Amino acid sequence: MKFKILICALFLFTYVKGFAQPSTISNHNSNSQLITSLDGYQWKMKMMLPGEGIKHGLNKLPPGDIETLVWNPAKVPGDVYTDLWKVGVIEDPYFGRNSVKAQWVMQYEWWYSMQFRVNQDLSDKVARIDFESIDHECDIWLNGHFIGSHKGSFSSFSFDVTQAIQSNPHWLKATNMLVIRLAPPPQVNANVAGLKTPWFGDYWRDLIPFGITGSIDLIFTGKSRIVDVYVKPIVENEKKVSVAFEIEVENTDKIPKEKKITISFQGQNFESKQQIISFKQVLQPGKQIIKKEIEVENPQLWWPWDLGKPNLYKARVSLDQGDINQDFKEVTYGLRKVEMEWNPGFTKDEVSFPRTTLINGKPIFIRSACWGGPPDIFVGRTSEEKYRKLIALAKEANMNNIRIFGWHPPEIPLFYKLCNEQGITVWQDIIPLGTGNIPNDPELLERIYQEGENVIKNRRNNPSIIMMEGGEEMLLRASDAQYANNFLKTLGDRYQDMVDLPYVPDSPLTCDVSKQAGYKPKEAVHALGYFYQMGRWPMEDWYKSLDYPIVPELAITSVPNVESLKKFIPENEMWPPGPSWGHHWADLDRLRIQNFDTFGDEKTGSLQEFVDATQDAQGIIFQLSIEHFRRNKPRTSGIALCHFITYWPDMKWAIVDNYLQPKRSFEFVKRGYQPLLINFNFEKRRWLNSDTFKGQFWVVNDYYKEYKNCKVSYIIADDNHKSLKKSSFKIDKIEENSSKQFFELEANILKNVQKNFYVTMELTSENGTTLSSNEYMFLIGDKKEASEKFNVMGEEIRDRNSIYSYGNYYQFFDKLTGENGEKQESEKEPVKARGFE
């Protein structure tokens, strides 16, 4: 998706990328491909009953007709719901429970139209319209000519419109009408698994998104064109690197033609000498791939930000006939090698795959979070500014990776561009397969495979993408383990035919169905047990029980900031919580008792107290779990929180809310993800006054850099900030890429502590510079008694869950059931949540 705003006169747009037109004298260093963007606010939309648009002839509207002037305004890229919300047809679906009021929208077909002019001479040219993505099913006409159909939400597609387009110096004869029919979205996800984003899950309600979600470009080339350029780096070592160019070209002539191909490349974000080669090639009619390998002079590798510089190259490829340009493409890429090795300490009877990622030969610990995106499920609401801020926040949180997992779509080009530039790696579920069952239909399976291949083809030049995954929780829900597993293996084979990257078929692979399919007991784990089985273990007992090579999901929930709540919760439901909290997936029972485990108190005294407590609880559990897994490196090689963001204003997993506001938990994650991390390992969070306080100081170093002659200073203080103990110790050497215990603490200092006490620590260099700092909160209390109370609270949740289905928020609001003739909600007597009176 490209974010462009066009300022155009009526029926005219003039935004042209490039400096010359095809069929002009070639200048290889200029973009000589003529691309006219059809994005922006020149679009109009109209609602029709299914099947009625064609009956009424909307597809045959004359190019110069002005009827569409009275259709509703629309924007491309965008979506149907946002277009309708902006013109006042529906209320904001993000606010309150308005989303249920908009469900009628997905029962209709929606027609989009745009008029534009073409004045240039098209002799010896080919005109095409390229579509980045349309969700999910569309038919397309240009000037009344049917040019094609498409199904699939993520794949790009293109149509030759040379015969249908009108070009003329006279404005009316130069006017063209592009019309797109969006079919009503599919209603059963299993029928479109991998072809459309799942619209279910515990962060959304049943409102199926659809729209023209990607950019549309009108492109003019010569009779030969460049379809695709793949730049494959071949890294032997830091000084010996080649790039293998795979250039897909198409000759639309019926006879072979000799063409000149010129390739050049040089550093994009660093100074380097341009390398350039030219050669002649006879192009046969149709499509073909031309391969050329070139050794890179003085190569500069692409690194994640914590290991080096994210050096990028820009390649230009031009296709000429004599001195006349036919087509041109520009590609950004990076030089890096990705490998996988087995995690030490796990046998091949325990795990099926190597799960340690090596970038350019160096093992990395993946500090990640599931993206939880796109930033908005209705893509018309998002912006380039949002993407830029979110990627900056991910880096600020010390993440070196973002996981695009299989409940969400592959991201737009801007996302990968920003990750490439910032040195953030991407762990990529190629297409969303967040469903257990796919139909046993060879034609549908082939469509799924092709959709995935299209996604890979359009993204494989991004050096940020370092690993591929086939499914998200697919085997977890599959009714036929072998059938689903064979599908995922075939998917991986086809992906790896297109790009040389590691692939694993599914996540988590530790469920019963995965074991039936032959996977081992210690595969990647989804660390969700604390939340879903709330009350069974105190947090420290739960995370210490987890010993796996990699953790693709670690999930804890919290509530957005109060200022954000005001943007999507009606005032009369704000506090105590009303039903809109439940509609936005606030699990009020789990949030209360999660607070109890963290603070010894449910923290329901006020809205601000409750919100802050949920965020601090989420942050503390995330930080302590992160540190546990990081101390376990290299046995454990990565962790991804669930989530970084979510795609509407919910009350669930994210550490940055839908309004781009970091929660308080963000700071805990930032602290736990410090590449160089001083941290404290301990047995329990609740201590008796008679206990000897014990723990161990560790340092985890993800940098490839040694630190010598360092000092650790620490302070233990009570809740009145009175120092109970203050001391320091020396560290002679911290080895690169290491995790090591350095000091064990025992202190009899708790006799007079009333409620809480705190440990703060700082790691400093030889010259006194702070290298890392950390802090912890502990409670005075009986762990056994608190655990028993915690378990009783959890049993109460499980009892209610046996009556209400998961996600049915009626369980928190007794009056919503309407039982015993009780009065239901009204403006005068709003329904409030049980336990918050």
Domain-embedded: residue 3: no
The alpha carbon of residue 106 and the mean position of all alpha carbons in its chain are separated, in whole angstroms, by 25
Number of domains in the chain: 4
The reply to whether 240 and 295 lie within a common domain is yes
- Residue pair 304/400 in contact (Cβ under 8 Å)? The answer is yes
Segment-wise mean pLDDT, segments of 10 residues, the chain, 837 residues: 36 34 60 81 97 97 92 98 98 97 97 94 91 97 97 96 90 90 93 89 89 97 95 96 98 93 96 96 96 97 98 96 89 98 96 97 98 94 97 98 93 97 97 82 92 96 97 88 93 95 94 93 94 95 97 96 98 96 96 97 97 98 98 98 94 96 98 98 97 98 98 96 96 98 97 96 97 98 96 93 89 78 56 86
Q: Which 8-state DSSP code applies to residue 627?
A: H
> What SS3 string covers 713-760?
EEEEEECCCCEEEEEEEEEEEECCCEEEEEEEEEECCCCCCCCEEEEE
Instruction: Name the residue range of residue 748's domain.
Output: 678-783
Position 116 in a domain: yes
Same-domain check for residues 212 and 236: no
743 domain-assigned: yes
Which pTM was predicted? 0.94
What CATH number did the domain enclosing 210 receive? 2.60.120.260
**Are both 590 and 507 inside the same structural domain?**
yes
Query: Is 652 domain-assigned?
Result: yes
Give a yes or no: residue 648 inside a domain: yes
Neighbour-count burial of 237, counting CB atoms closer than 10 A to its CB (0-12 exposed, 13-18 middle, 19+ buried)? exposed
Residues 415 and 544 in one domain: yes
**Whole-angstrom distance, CA of residue 117 vs CA of residue 170:** 10
833 within a domain of the structure (yes/no): no
Q: Are residues 488 and 368 in the same domain?
A: yes
Q: What is each CA distance from 363 to 346, 358, 653, 737, in whole angstroms? A: 16, 4, 29, 8
Q: Which of 178, 195, 221 is the last residue of a domain?
A: 221
CATH value at residue 516 = 3.20.20.80
Residue 810, domain member (yes or no): no
Listed residue (675, 725, 729, 734) closest to 703, CA to CA: 675
Distance between start and end Cα atoms, the chain: 47
Structural domain includes residue 803: no
Residues 538, 684: Cα–Cα separation, whole Å: 9
Residues near 104 by beta carbon (within 8 Å), at least 6 away in sequence: none
3-state secondary structure of 299: coil
Determine the pLDDT at residue 390.
Answer: 98
Rg (CA), the chain: 29
How far is the CA of 756 from the CAs of 683, 689, 719, in angstroms?
16, 11, 5
Going by C-alpha positions, the residue among 128, 282, 99, 104 that lies closest to residue 203 is 99
Of 170, 187, 221, the position where a domain reaches its end is 221
> Based on the domain organization, do 505 and 362 belong to the same domain?
yes
What distance in Å separates the CA atoms of residue 156 and residue 483, rounded to the nearest whole number? Answer: 28
Of the candidates 200, 221, 242, which is a domain's last residue? 221
Let me know whether 283 and 430 are in one domain. Answer: no
- Assess whether 541 and 402 both reside in one domain: yes
- Together in a domain, 427 and 505: yes
For position 774, which CATH number holds? 2.60.40.2550
Write the DSSP assignment of 161-227 as a string of letters.
Answer: -TTT----SSTTTTEEEEEEEEPPPPS-GGGGTTTS----STT--S----B--S-EEEEEE-SEEEE
Query: What is residue 24's predicted lDDT score, i.e. its pLDDT?
Result: 53
Contact 722, 728 (CB under 8 A): no
627 and 512 housed in the same domain: yes
Residues 502 and 642 in one domain: yes
CA 415, 419, 424, 429 dihedral sign is positive
Q: 459 and 551: one domain?
A: yes
Q: Count other Cβ atoms within 10 Å, centred on residue 384.
A: 14
Distance CA 641, CA 648 (A): 18
Residue 831 CB-density burial (10 A; 0-12 exposed, 13-18 middle, 19+ buried): buried
Q: Where are the beta strands (DSSP E) in 389-500?
A: 401-404, 425-429, 465-469
Per residue, what are the HEC states of 454-485? HHHHHHCCCCCEEEEECCCCHHHHCCCHHHHH
